[in-house]
Amino acid sequence: MTPQPSSARAVPIEGGAAPGVVLPDRPPLPTAQVTGRQLFGPSWFAAVMGTGIVANAVVTLPRSLPGLRTAATVVWAGAGLLLVVLAVGYLRQRALRLHAADPTQAQFFGAPAVALLTVGAGALQLGPSVIGGRAALVVDLVLWPTGTVLGLTTAVTVPYLMVTRHRFAPDAAFGGWLMPVVPPLVSATTGALLVAHMPAGQLRLDLVLGCYAMFGLGLVAALLVLAMVYSRLVHHDAPTGAMVPTVWIGLGALGQIVTGLGALAAAAPGALPAPYVHGTAVLALLGGVGVWGFAMLWLVLATALTVRELRSGLPFAPTWWSFIFPLGACVTGTAALASRTGSQVFVWTAVALYALLVAAWVVVAHRSLRHAVAHTRG
């Protein structure tokens, strides 16, 4: 995903400065574009995120079909294989510093963390039928802490780089800015799946409280960034080209909030005292429905902007994977509300969204394979 928002240039000083005065550029850093090598960015890990959530969402669906879980297990295995291939390829490039210097590429350092967490959650939910319950737990006990540490590091490091090294114009905010701060939300959601596997007592309590802390970190940060993205959308020209799919990342953050509230409420019994267990259930329902309503608004907005761009031509770019994980998070959030309320509106909305998710994944995966083959031959 390599959209090119306005960035890395001097901007006018606001608030009391003389007209036309500009801030000097900060010391330039090397960028991936000057190496002369074909490098792939961390944004490609969104392919693992998207493929993984197509599999994981099946576990949460309120309705299913014969063989669907088996198909989901195959897709999860494919996501795991893709994770290994991309991780080895990315590390061999030794391009970490180059991508950290790029104001756009750096935003997608959150993608590898979420990829690890997504595959780990799939191992816990789908892996036992293939590799056994014990091995599946071991896989997640490796991937979840690794993804969590990487995600927390990203959530701190990327904003620090944005403040101290990168330069952004007033219209620079885009959906990719959510990527560094979303991983703690995903860690909270997927960490809730591990609670039942922890010994009762202090360890289980600490895991639940730690997940809630990460949820709060991701929640506040995501809402702050969403406000900046929305402000950019209404105050500047509508996004075009490769930037359009990144609007969908906002849907992913909102869907992950709803999913996380439900997952943490389900994990609370046996870990938190009874009064607080009831509180988590209330928050999961009322808070979840409220955020879900805003997610539907964002879904309609993102869809309208995408259709508008399709009419004038939307060429394939790696940012197309921005359609998939966000839509999947919307499916899991809606399914969580269906499970908690029994509402048929949520039940059939989750099913319809999942059908749309699978169709979109097939299209994007096909176009990505064609893209990869063309670049490999080139």
Which tens digits make up the pLDDT trace of 319-374?
A: 899 999 999 999 999 999 999 999 999 999 999 999 999 999 999 999 999 888 87
Report DSSP letters for 235-283, one per residue. Answer: HSPPP-GGGGGGGGHHHHHHHHHHHHHHHHHHH-BTTB-HHHHHHHHHI
267-279, pLDDT tens digit by residue?
A: 999 999 989 999 9
CA dihedral of residues 152, 154, 156, 158 (deg, nearest 10): -170
The residue type of 165 is R
Task: Please determine, for residue 3, whether its predicted confidence score (pLDDT) is greater than 70.
Answer: no
Task: Please determine, for residue 22, whether its predicted confidence score (pLDDT) is greater than 50.
Answer: no
Q: What is the pLDDT of the chain when averaged over all its residues?
A: 89
Task: Please determine, for residue 35, whether its predicted confidence score (pLDDT) is greater than 50.
Answer: no
**pLDDT at res. 38:** 64
Structure confidence at residue 37 as a pLDDT band (50, 70, 90): low
Short-list 319, 360, 304, CA closest to 57: 360
**pLDDT at res. 312:** 85
HSE-up of 298 (CA within 13 Å, CB side)?
A: 27
149-176, pLDDT tens digit by residue?
A: 999 999 999 999 999 999 899 899 999 9
> Pick the residue with more confidence: 7 or 254?
254
**pLDDT at res. 15:** 34
Q: In whole angstroms, what is the distance from residue 356 CA to residue 358 CA?
A: 6
**pLDDT at res. 39:** 75
Q: Are the beta carbons of 321 and 371 closer than 8 angstroms?
A: no
Task: Please determine, for residue 28, whether its predicted confidence score (pLDDT) is greater than 80.
Answer: no
Task: Please determine, for residue 71, whether its predicted confidence score (pLDDT) is greater than 70.
Answer: yes
The residue type of 159 is P
Structure confidence at residue 26 as a pLDDT band (50, 70, 90): very low
Q: What are phi and psi of 25, to 5 degrees?
A: -60, 145
The residue type of 30 is P
216-238, pLDDT tens digit by residue?
A: 999 999 999 999 999 999 999 99
> Pick the residue with more confidence: 317 or 179?
179
136-165 b/e (C-beta count within 10 Å ≥ 16 → b): bbebbeebbeebbebbbebbeebeebbeeb
**pLDDT at res. 242:** 87
HSE-up of 51 (CA within 13 Å, CB side)?
A: 25
179-206, pLDDT tens digit by residue?
A: 999 999 999 999 999 999 999 999 999 9
Short-list 124, 113, 101, CA closest to 196: 124
